[in-house]
Amino acid sequence: MHDSLNICIAGAGTIGTALGQVLAEKDSLNVTLLSVEVDVVEDINTKHINTTYFPQIKLNQRLKASDDNSVLKSADIVFLAIPSVVVVSYVNSIRSFLREDSVLVNLAKGFGSDNSTIVDELKKVVANPVCTLKGPTFARELINHMPTAMTVGADDQAIFELLGSTFSGTTIHTDFTEDVTGVEILSILKNIYAIVIGIVDAHFDSPNLRFMIFTRAFNEMRHVLLKFGGKQETMFRYCGIGDFGLTALNDLSRNRTLGLLIGKGFFTDDISGKVVLEGRIAAGVICEQLIRMQVPQSEYFMLNELNKIFLGGYNIKKFIGNIVSNDLPPKPSNGF
């Protein structure tokens, strides 16, 4: 174990900056935000403010920023805090700068470029240890020192110990699972089903209905998770029920907000193609894969109905009646 660790966070957006702020408070960590946004880099280094993303937050003076990929050469841990659709291509472009033993930590929630999980795709690109970090985490809360929980998904206990010691003494708490696939898939599913809850809440401010649908959605997530090779127990980690609850029930969530807009009738065929939120993209991808797997439609009825909305021509007024009238099978078709 190093006396001090060099941390590089690729991406100086909201989550990258918030994570950097928390870690920079530890004297044993040297933290650098790596960004292509030159103005952001300059602001952080000279004014200690990320004017673009957190204009009112004074950043720790120990938090550095750079637009030079050579900072990766000394990094023990590289957190990938960039959009899911570019993670794999980005890592491919910077891999010559990486040390062989640098641990890559995927924070992005979504599929990679070929509709596999990002971790699976990264393992094809680099020989480095790769893990995933997901949980109920709004960046605004994190940067304001609210206790925050995340799940480390890794196939090596040593990675969990490394990240556990990295986060010790901070406001970030972790649990661990070797079910890396499950963590990645749940981070995708929770965005999709948060849209469903948003649609429901746009029509009815009813706790009874909200938690009826929430429970059914969580159960449907379980069916889909098992089909993609995840483990049921992962649903009870921070990345599961915690992240789903955060995303589905809080108005800071972009995917819940999308659901509210759909439910209120603001999501028209004219604008649907312009919406590129993770949940919208993932709904189509997962539906296509479940169809290929010949999974009974009754096991992902809500997801399929939501995808019909995104495809256009769906009468949104019938959505809630349709999903309420369809009871989920009590057990997944492949058992537990």
Which residues belong to the active site? 190
In angstroms, the CA 39 to CA 50 distance is 9
Alpha-helical segments (H) within 228-275: 243-249, 254-263, 269-272
Helix ranges restricted to H, the chain: 14-23, 38-47, 87-94, 118-125, 139-143, 157-167, 180-203, 207-227, 243-249, 254-263, 269-272, 278-292, 301-311, 319-324
Half-sphere exposure of residue 231: CA atoms within 13 angstroms, side-chain side: 9
* Residue partners of 324: CB distance under 8 A and separation at least 6: 209, 212, 213
Q: Max alpha carbon distance in the chain (Å)?
A: 60
Residue 187, judged by CB atoms within 10 A of its CB (0-12, 13-18, 19+), counts as buried
How many CB atoms within 10 Å of residue 120?
A: 16
Strands 77-80 and 64-66: what pairing?
unpaired
